Amino acid sequence: DLANPFNGLLEIFDDPDFPHFGAEIEIAGAAESIVAIYGTTYFQPGPIAELIRRCCQESLKIAPVGFDWSYGCSRPRRDSFGGGWCTIFADHVEFASTQEELARRLGRSAVTPPAEPPDPWIDYPQYPSVDWQTEVANGDTRLGYLDWVLARTEADHSVPPSMELPSA
């Protein structure tokens, strides 16, 4: 309906009878297109993201855009502080809150540390560099030391170098 000024936009709001972003949107600097979005109560990141997705299709086909937000409370209450992020693509929108991300990270096993990349400057005792040098000298390998160690680890089905404690 072209006579309707909201033509299809009401569906982006949680309550179509009360279409409100809960924020002020200011655009400054024509060349830089600096956009500020801020609000004090009832900030609605979903409708803002959908408005951007619907109105900026050409730009979003080139690259996604995003924003983050925070919220707080004047009283210290549990779960009264937080925020989140939003990434807007031409065909969809992704959200996550700080609480969701924190829960996801805490859900990982505390016993298993994240794998660190192997240190290329350390001689791993299970695979002495002398053995590697011998293979290089004999023409048996053209791999660098770390790649040779990783290949041996894979062939032996042993613990990767990032998980063992090498000697210095």
Express each pLDDT in 122-162 by its tens digit. Answer: 788 888 888 988 988 988 888 888 888 888 887 777 665 55
Q: Does residue 15 sit in the same domain as residue 89?
A: yes
State the Cα–Cα distance between residues 8 and 61, nearest whole angstrom: 21
Vertex 139 angle, CA 135 and 146, to 5°: 45
Number of other CB atoms surrounding residue 148 within 10 Å: 19
User: Residue 87 is which amino acid?
Assistant: T
Check if the beta carbon of residue 160 is closer than 8 Å to that of residue 153: yes
Which of residues 90, 107, 124 is at a domain's end?
107
Residue 132 neighbours by CB under 8 Å, 6+ apart: 141, 145, 148, 149
User: Which token pair is 115?
Assistant: 């794998």
What's the structural domain count of the chain? Answer: 2
At 76-133, the pLDDT tens digits run: 777 677 888 899 999 999 988 888 888 877 876 555 555 666 676 778 888 888 898 8
Is residue 166 predicted with pLDDT exceeding 50? no
Last residue of a domain, one of 107, 135, 151: 107
Q: What is this structure's pTM?
A: 0.55
Beginning with the edge strand found earlier in the chain, give each strand of the sheet holding 65-71 in spatial order. 65-71, 82-88, 93-97
Which range of residues forms the domain containing residue 135?
Answer: 113-168
User: What's the average model confidence in pLDDT over 38-63?
Assistant: 87
Q: Please report, to the nearest 10 degrees, the dihedral formed by the alpha carbons of residues 47, 48, 54, 58 taken in order.
A: -160
